[in-house]
Amino acid sequence: MDTDRTISARGVTKVYHTGDVTVNALDGVDFDLFRGEIVVLLGPSGSGKSTLLNIIGGLDAPSGGQVFFNGNELTQFDDRALTDYRRHHVGFVFQFYNLIPSLTARENVSLVTEIARKPMTPEDALALVGLEDRLDHFPSQLSGGEQQRVAIARAIAKRPAILLCDEPTGALTVVRASSCWRRWRQ
Ligand SMILES: Nc1ncnc2c1ncn2[C@@H]1O[C@H](COP(=O)(O)OP(=O)(O)OP(=O)(O)O)[C@@H](O)[C@H]1O
Ligand SMILES: [Mg+2]
């Protein structure tokens, strides 16, 4: 397989059964992501964007099909390999932030940097998103956009091979959002 191909999906399906309702959230998805590429996934609400990102990020398993990371089949990984993949290779900005309410901004980022191989410091990551003056604030003491920026800092702090962002700028102004991404890419 092409070594610049970081993620490949082949025939990925996801079916949810809830009571009598069956939802085909993904129905045979094929695509490739290459090293250095920035890809934007657009689709209406409920079209399966979060479902697909969760599967690529190793947070959920598909109902069918295959996903590859650097040529290795993610969908065959055992729990230990999946944990390693998530810990060392994937940065994930969740749609609903998933910050821990009882931890400060700095501590939320530290949770990731303490187990990463070559992380930034939490202070540097938070400075990249303009939050150097909010290190000791708890999520409830931050605005929605600031909480979203803590979630971005947490994802970039481990310098992941893949950054998966689920609507990462919904609570940010356009200027703030573009400045976060520009700094991350430097
Ligand atoms: N855990 C679940 N159990 C049952 N159905 C689910 C589950 N998660 C998602 N779905 C359904 O799967 C479909 C895809 O959901 P998903 O969250 O991937 O959409 P989305 O494109 O991210 O939407 P949005 O833009 O609103 O965030 C939706 O119709 C949703 O109702
Ligand atoms: Mg979503």
SS3 73: strand
- pLDDT tens-digit map of 17-33: 999 999 999 999 999 99
What are the pocket residues of ligand 1 if the criterion is a CB atom closer than 6 Å to any ligand atom?
16, 18, 23, 25, 43, 45-51, 95
Give residue 4's pLDDT: 85
**The CATH number of 93-185 is which of 3.40.630.30, 3.60.15.10, 3.40.50.300, 3.30.390.50?**
3.40.50.300
Determine the distance separating the centroid of ligand 2 and the alpha carbon of 164, expressed in angstroms.
12
Low-confidence ranges of the chain (pLDDT < 70): 1-3, 173-186
The architecture that CATH gives domain 5-77 is 3-Layer(aba) Sandwich (3.40)
Q: Give the Å distance between the CA of 13 and the centre of ligand 1.
A: 13
Largest CA distance in the chain: 50
| Strand ranges inside 47-159, DSSP E | 64-69, 72-73, 90-93
Q: Which ligand is the nearest neighbour of the Cα of 52?
A: 1
Provide CATH 3.40.50.300 ranges for the chain: 5-77, 93-185
- Looking at residue 182, its pLDDT comes to 67
For ligand 1, the distance from its centroid to the CA atom of residue 63, given in whole angstroms, is 14
CA dist 110 → 91, 98, 103, 114, 156 (Å): 14, 14, 10, 6, 12
- Amino acid 185: pLDDT: 59
Give the mean pLDDT of the chain: 90
Q: Convert the pLDDT of each residue in 104-120 to its tens digit.
A: 999 999 999 999 899 99
Supply the pLDDT for residue 168. Answer: 78
Residue 135's pLDDT is 97
Contact 134, 125 (CB under 8 A): no
Cβ neighbours, 10 Å, residue 167: 14
Q: Which ligand 1 atom sits nearest the alpha carbon of residue 51?
A: 18
What is the dihedral angle through the alpha carbons of 39, 44, 48, 54, rounded to the nearest 10 degrees?
50
Answer whether 24's CB lies under 8 Å from 13's CB. yes
